[in-house]
């Protein structure tokens, strides 16, 4: 019997995406966070266990991206201030490194508990200073920062078990520079392992988000940490350059842009100092046709719109198998309509404020490039606050690998969607980037998860989830995403030299 012909009109079509209607039936009443942040009018430097006025005598305004208001004034440390911080850290190193690990661990436990005691205060300060929704500051940033101090406190008296047959020794003074997207959490990632290993620290917070770092100094004082063990020097680029190139630094740890990371690597080449770089990313989130699509859509939303996309491991490239691409795009459009963009202090907010005016302009410029290059833009209708720096959640479909939105790190709430036909094509497209920090795989087949994960050139690969972190799990990248690891046993080894017994 001849095969029955099927007309184009009768070809089977993908079932329409289910739409949740309740999101449009009522308006949420405002639910503002009422807890005070206790932000001082001015923050000096913290050197040698004391708050110290900058020798430069310069301060700069710290603005809130929420409404562009001035939060406080922050000290702008100069070279002389960095010299003083390194002198204090060098002086404190012999006593701190010789202290029994169990005693060092007690200080880290105290810091963790004090963070927990003041969790709500720090969450509000983090949101006011950085623009992220209060739900994220409250439920992720502050608890995870405390968790890192708890975790590394446990390592302080167990260093001998890190590398059997070798004797671990602290390196000396660690110079550390952290970014503006997770100010308190990045501080914990850097300081906790350094102290547990017996090192002392000179740390520079980001210029636009220094408030919680300077507030953290009061926790160090309340924990009675010996003077000079941790020193905080705020300031701009010149301050950061002085911290990472100082001859007193035995170890440098930097989290930030790839361009600055390359400069640091060049500046430290041949000095013999240890270096850890955690840089940019352009992560691929891969959805196969057998994936649980509703679960995957939620993972994609979390992967790109968490912290307004200000995440180095954000899943900013979505690779979808062709047979389900239309359905996934439709589901994402529906889901994006229920996202609430606005005041980050409102507990209903999903997407808060962009960190700075400069970052907002960069996002706008790249989005314009995506439109000009032919990608199709999708944005939900939403009313943005009149004051402050905001950008609506955005996705591009019909993206090609040659377009800027598929190649450049946008660092904002912008998702680029590409398609693939075979697993080999998915891996090839995912790896076709200069970065290599993270990736995600969505599929119902466990064997496919392991195969694809082994072929992806990324430091972290999530399976059927995204943006899951744990202090015991090492984090870091390859290629232009940097090198070295933070967290877990590998993160501890970055702050130690291993010697023969």
Which superfamily does CATH assign the domain made up of 42-278+478-499 to?
Aldehyde Dehydrogenase; Chain A, domain 1 (3.40.605.10)
- Judged against a pLDDT cut of 80, whether residue 64 lies above it is answered with yes
Q: Is 278 part of the annotated catalytic residue set?
A: yes
- The pLDDT score that the predictor gives to residue 180 is 94
pLDDT tier at 461, thresholds 50, 70, 90: very high
Q: Do residues 178 and 203 make contact, with C-beta atoms less than 8 angstroms apart?
A: yes
Beta carbons within 10 angstroms of residue 13's beta carbon: 7
- Judged against a pLDDT cut of 60, whether residue 2 lies above it is answered with no
C-alpha to C-alpha distance for 296 and 274, rounded to whole angstroms = 39
3-state secondary structure of 169: strand
Mean pLDDT, all residues of the chain? 93
pLDDT tier at 29, thresholds 50, 70, 90: confident
pLDDT tier at 25, thresholds 50, 70, 90: low
Distances (CA, A) of 133 to 141, 222, 308, 352: 11, 28, 9, 5
pLDDT tier at 382, thresholds 50, 70, 90: confident
Please give the share of the chain, as a percent, with pLDDT higher than 70: 95
387 compared with 19, residue with greater pLDDT? 387
- Interval 216-239: pLDDT, tens: 999 999 999 999 999 999 999 999
- The pLDDT score that the predictor gives to residue 27 is 74
Q: Is 480 part of the annotated catalytic residue set?
A: no
State the fold for domain 281-463: Aldehyde Dehydrogenase; Chain A, domain 2 (3.40.309)
- Interval 131-140: pLDDT, tens: 999 999 999 9
1 compared with 479, residue with greater pLDDT? 479
pTM score of the predicted model: 0.92
Please give the share of the chain, as a percent, with pLDDT higher than 90: 91
Same fold, 42-278+478-499 and 281-463: no
**Catalytic hit among 33, 136, 207, 312:** 312
Element (H, E) at 183: helix 183-196
* Mean pLDDT, residues 75-84: 96
User: Which residues have C-beta within 8 Å of that of residue 392, sequence separation ≥ 6?
Assistant: 341, 351, 379, 380, 382, 384, 413
- The pLDDT score that the predictor gives to residue 5 is 44
pLDDT tier at 11, thresholds 50, 70, 90: very low
- The pLDDT score that the predictor gives to residue 117 is 97
- The pLDDT score that the predictor gives to residue 500 is 87
pLDDT tier at 21, thresholds 50, 70, 90: low
- Judged against a pLDDT cut of 80, whether residue 26 lies above it is answered with no
The ranges assigned to domains in the chain are 42-278+478-499, 281-463
- Judged against a pLDDT cut of 70, whether residue 14 lies above it is answered with no
- The pLDDT score that the predictor gives to residue 67 is 95
**Catalytic hit among 33, 126, 207, 278:** 278
C-alpha to C-alpha distance for 394 and 128, rounded to whole angstroms = 24
- The pLDDT score that the predictor gives to residue 4 is 44
- Interval 293-317: pLDDT, tens: 999 999 999 999 999 999 999 999 9
- Judged against a pLDDT cut of 60, whether residue 22 lies above it is answered with no
**What does the DSSP assignment read for 349-409?**
-SB---S-HHHHHHHHHHHHHHHHTTPEEE----PPPSSS-----EEEES--TTSHHHHS-
Greatest alpha-carbon span in the chain: 93
* Mean pLDDT, residues 178-200: 97
C-alpha to C-alpha distance for 347 and 217, rounded to whole angstroms = 28
- Interval 156-174: pLDDT, tens: 999 999 999 899 999 999 9
Distances (CA, A) of 201 to 74, 103, 250, 493: 20, 18, 10, 16
């Amino acid at each position: 019997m001849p095969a029955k012909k099927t007309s184009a009109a009768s070809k089977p079509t993908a079932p329409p995406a289910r739409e949740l209607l309740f999101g449009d039936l009522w308006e949420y009443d405002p639910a503002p966070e009422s807890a005070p942040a206790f932000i001082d009018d001015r923050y000096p430097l913290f050197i040698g266990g004391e708050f110290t006025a900058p020798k430069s005598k310069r301060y700069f305004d710290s603005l809130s991206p929420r409404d562009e208001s001035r939060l406080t004034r922050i000290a702008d440390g100069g070279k002389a201030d960095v010299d003083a911080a390194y002198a204090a850290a060098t002086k404190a190193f012999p006593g701190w490194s010789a202290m029994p690990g169990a005693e060092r661990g007690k200080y880290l436990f105290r810091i963790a508990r004090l963070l927990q005691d003041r969790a709500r205060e720090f969450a509000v300060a983090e949101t006011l200073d950085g623009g992220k929704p209060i739900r994220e500051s409250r439920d992720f940033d502050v608890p995870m920062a405390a968790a890192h101090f708890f975790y590394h406190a446990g390592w302080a008296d167990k260093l001998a078990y890190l590398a059997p047959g070798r004797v671990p020794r602290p390196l000396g003074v660690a110079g550390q520079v952290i970014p503006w997207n997770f100010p308190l959490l990045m501080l914990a990632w850097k300081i906790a392992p350094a102290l547990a290993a017996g090192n002392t620290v000179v740390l520079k917070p980001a210029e636009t988000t220094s408030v919680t770092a300077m507030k953290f100094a009061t926790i160090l004082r309340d924990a009675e940490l010996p003077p000079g063990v941790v020193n905080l020097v705020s300031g701009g680029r010149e301050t950061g350059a002085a911290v990472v190139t100082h001859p007193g630094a035995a170890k440098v740890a930097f989290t930030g842009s790839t361009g600055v990371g390359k400069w640091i690597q060049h500046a430290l080449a041949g000095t013999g100092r240890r270096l850890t770089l955690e840089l940019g990313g352009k992560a691929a989130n891969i959805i196969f046709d057998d994936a649980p699509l509703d679960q995957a859509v939620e993972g994609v939303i979390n992967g790109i719109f968490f912290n307004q996309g200000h995440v180095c491991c954000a899943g900013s490239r979505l690779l979808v198998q062709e047979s389900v691409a239309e359905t996934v795009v439709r589901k994402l459009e529906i889901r994006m309509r229920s996202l609430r963009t606005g005041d980050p202090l409102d507990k209903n907010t999903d997407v808060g404020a962009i960190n700075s005016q400069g970052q907002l302009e960069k996002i706008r410029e790249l989005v314009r490039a995506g439109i000009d290059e032919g990608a199709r833009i999708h944005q939900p209708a939403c009313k943005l606050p009149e004051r402050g720096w905001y950008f609506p959640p955005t996705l591009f479909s019909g993206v090609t690998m040659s377009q800027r939105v598929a190649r450049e790190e946008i660092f904002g709430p912008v998702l680029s969607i590409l398609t693939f036909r075979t697993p080999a094509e998915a891996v090839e497209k995912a790896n076709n980037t200069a970065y290599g920090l993270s990736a995600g795989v969505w599929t119902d087949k466990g064997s496919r998860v392991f195969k694809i994960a082994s072929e992806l050139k990324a430091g972290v690969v999530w399976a059927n989830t995204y943006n899951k972190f744990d202090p015991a799990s090492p984090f870091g990248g390859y290629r232009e995403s940097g090198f070295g690891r933070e967290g877990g046993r590998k993160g501890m080894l970055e702050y130690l030299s291993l010697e023969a017994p």
